[in-house]
């Protein structure tokens, strides 16, 4: 990517993922990156709608490996969908889906690029948060705690990311085109591309999570602070 705005997003996420960055600083960098990314994506979509142009629809495959495969898939899917991409999970032949899987994402190139950047940063943040978490209660299974922690983190972060994008859309002035319609059309084109390649897909079943890990993960996801107005504009 050569666009200065996207490069600024990349630089902020790189700082957030740096081992020398404190948790508070990482939250600040991530919040600003998400604010810029959401605004850029909406501005780009509106500009293309007015000009009757569009950056290329494309796709990318993301390898998801253990541990926490299911929850990493959920996190990745939530991030991609916030950027108006459509995703499908693929099985790796000969490999247990609990050990590894592939996520195939379809969308506009700028949207996919931003989603990939954010997903990578959030994986690092989730790992740090898990290592800093209080840990399981006496007698609670450690592996189960870690899985539910990551699940809680992913659920909370993806909800907050979706809300951040809705707020950015609501705050965007519209003249010729309805912001909501333009973004919906962009998301629909991503879904159409997915359905053209995978005409037969199914929705995964619901999971029921228990234990202290999910609550600790949700708290960590809340601290990720990926959107809103806590950062002054520059």
Mean pLDDT of 66-77: 92
- Please check whether residue 72 is in contact with residue 125, taking contact to mean a CB–CB distance below 8 angstroms: no
67 DSSP assignment? S
Domain-located, residue 154? yes
Lowest mean pLDDT among 79-83, 156-160, 220-224: 220-224
Domain-located, residue 223? no
- Residues 83-126 have pLDDT tens digits of 999 999 999 989 998 899 999 999 998 899 889 989 998 998 88
Q: Say which residues have a Cβ less than 8 Å from residue 227's Cβ, sequence separation at least 6.
A: 31, 34, 35, 38, 160, 161, 163, 164, 165, 167, 168
Q: Say which residues have a Cβ less than 8 Å from residue 35's Cβ, sequence separation at least 6.
A: 164, 168, 227, 228, 231, 233
> Which residue range(s) make up the domain with 112?
4-201
Query: What is the C-alpha separation between 176 and 144, in angstroms, rounded?
Result: 51
Domain-located, residue 159? yes
Q: Say which residues have a Cβ less than 8 Å from residue 107's Cβ, sequence separation at least 6.
A: 57, 58, 59, 80, 83, 84, 85, 86, 115, 190, 193
Q: In the prediction, which pLDDT does 65 show? A: 95
Mean pLDDT of 66-86: 93
Query: What is the C-alpha separation between 222 and 119, in angstroms, rounded?
Result: 16
Domain-located, residue 43? yes
Domain-located, residue 206? no
Q: Say which residues have a Cβ less than 8 Å from residue 116's Cβ, sequence separation at least 6.
A: 60, 62
Count of domains observed in the chain = 1
38-47, 86-95, 167-176, 195-204: range with highest mean pLDDT: 86-95
Token pair, residue 193, equals 């591309």
Query: What is the C-alpha separation between 127 and 4, in angstroms, rounded?
Result: 29
- Please check whether residue 216 is in contact with residue 156, taking contact to mean a CB–CB distance below 8 angstroms: no
Query: What is the C-alpha separation between 134 and 89, in angstroms, rounded?
Result: 32
| φ, ψ at 223 (rounded to 5°) | -70, -20
Domain-located, residue 234? no
Indicate the helix (H) or strand (E) that contains 63.
strand 57-65
């Amino acid at each position: 990517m050569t666009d200065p705005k996207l490069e600024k997003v990349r630089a902020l996420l790189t700082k957030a993922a740096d081992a020398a960055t404190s948790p508070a600083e990482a939250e600040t960098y991530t919040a600003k990156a998400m604010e810029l990314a959401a605004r850029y994506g909406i501005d780009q979509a509106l500009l293309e709608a007015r000009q009757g142009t569009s950056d290329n629809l494309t796709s990318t495959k993301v390898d998801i490996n253990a541990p926490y495969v299911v929850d990493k898939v959920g996190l990745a899917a939530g991030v991609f969908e916030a950027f108006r991409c459509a995703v499908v999970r693929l099985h790796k032949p000969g490999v247990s889906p609990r050990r590894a899987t592939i996520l195939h994402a379809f969308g506009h190139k700028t949207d996919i690029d931003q989603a990939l950047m954010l997903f990578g940063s959030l994986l690092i943040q989730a790992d740090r948060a898990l290592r800093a978490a209080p840990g399981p209660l006496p007698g609670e299974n450690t592996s189960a705690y870690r899985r539910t922690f990551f699940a809680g983190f992913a659920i909370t972060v993806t909800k907050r990311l979706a809300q951040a994008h809705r707020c950015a859309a609501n705050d965007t002035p519209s003249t010729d085109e309805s912001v909501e319609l333009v973004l919906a059309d962009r998301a629909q084109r991503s879904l159409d591309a997915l359905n053209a390649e995978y005409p037969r897909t199914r929705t995964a079943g619901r999971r029921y999570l228990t234990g202290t890990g999910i609550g600790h993960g949700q708290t960590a996801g809340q601290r990720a602070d990926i959107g809103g107005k806590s950062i002054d504009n520059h």
